[in-house]
Amino acid sequence: MSAQGTCGTVYGVGLGPGDPELMSVRADRLLRAATHVAYFRKAGNAGRARTTVTGMLPADVTEIPMDYPVTIEIPLDDPAYAASLSGFYAQVAGCLRDLARGGADVVVLCEGDPFFYGSFMHLYTRLKDDVPVQVVPAITGMSAAWTATGIPITWGDDVLSVLTGTMPQADMVRHMTAADALVVMKVGRNLPRVRDALAQAGKLDRAWLVECASMDAQRVVPLAQAGDRTVPYFSIVMVHGQGRRP
């Protein structure tokens, strides 16, 4: 039972980029004391968030898998995609709301940082006015990715732009051209579009591809040498800044 009395708290707990040793002390403490743990996953899969915390949860914890109704089956710009996910988030939020109102504290596992392109944001906006919600920030995947390259991402007054591989290609080119340093999230099957946009922006020769940053399957390679193979959805492409240095 939380300090709120009869109402429990929903915790959005950032797990960081994937290496359990990069979690915060607070995240570790909440996980090891959790009575209810919820996590997103693709139906039929364990899910990366749940896999990351293997061996950390109490033996008697109640697990609440939240299976996405769609992932890549419907294009992002199809109205059915938004409608399906909206209904899903409403349903899941209702389940967590009921648990909290019944006095349970619920830890929601979040890959990376909960407020950085994370699914938890959609639960947060649906829950924050009804039950106590706390967010535990974390190291982002992009931070682990640029660290994996061994090259600082920004220098001096460099402007860092964060883009997504799902955005229209013309917009990608415009932002890439203007940025001193840039990070592209949500790459996956969008890699060819991201590569073409970087070529148009004149920055392909400086771009790096990082797959599974901080994890056992980590792979770091100049994007021009990456080939055309399929890469994980959470792969990250980046171009390092070249700003002033003392």
Per-residue tokens: 96 = 């967590």
CA-nearest of 196, 195, 213, 205 to 240 is 205
8 A C-beta contact, residue 108 and residue 11: yes
Beta-carbon contacts of residue 84 (< 8 Å; ≥ 6 apart)? 69, 70, 74
d(CA 65, CA 46): 9
100 touches 6 (CB < 8 A): no
Minimal CA–CA distance to 18: which of 188, 150, 212, 148? 212
- As a whole number of angstroms, the distance between CA 205 and CA 199 comes to 8
Instruction: Identify the bridge partners of residue 221 per DSSP, sorted by sequence position.
Output: 209
CATH number given to 10-136: 3.40.1010.10
Tell me if 10-136 shares its fold with 141-239: no
pLDDT at 212 over 50: yes
Does the pLDDT of residue 53 top 50, yes or no?
yes
The answer to whether 146 and 239 are in contact (CB under 8 A) is no
- pLDDT by residue (tens digit) across 8-32? 999 999 999 999 999 999 999 999 9
Domain residues of the chain, as ranges?
10-136, 141-239
- Residue 55, judged by CB atoms within 10 A of its CB (0-12, 13-18, 19+), counts as exposed
Summarised one tens digit per residue, pLDDT across range 91-101 is 999 999 999 99
**What phi, psi does 241 have (nearest 5°)?**
-70, 160
pLDDT of 4 strictly over 70: no
Task: State the amino acid at position 78 in one-letter form.
Answer: D
Q: Who has greater pLDDT, 33 or 6?
A: 33
pLDDT score, position 230: 85
Residue 236 φ/ψ, nearest 5 degrees: -130, 135
pLDDT of residue 79: 63
- Residue range 94-150, pLDDT digits in tens: 999 999 999 999 999 999 999 999 999 999 999 999 999 999 999 999 999 999 999
- CATH code assigned to 141-239: 3.30.950.10
Residue 11: its H or E element = strand 10-14
The rounded distance, in Å, linking the Cα atoms of 3 and 10 is 13
Q: Tell me the DSSP string of 42-103.
A: ETTS--HHHHHTTTTS-TTPEEEEEEES-SSSS-TTSHHHHHHHHHHHHHHHHHHHHHHHTT
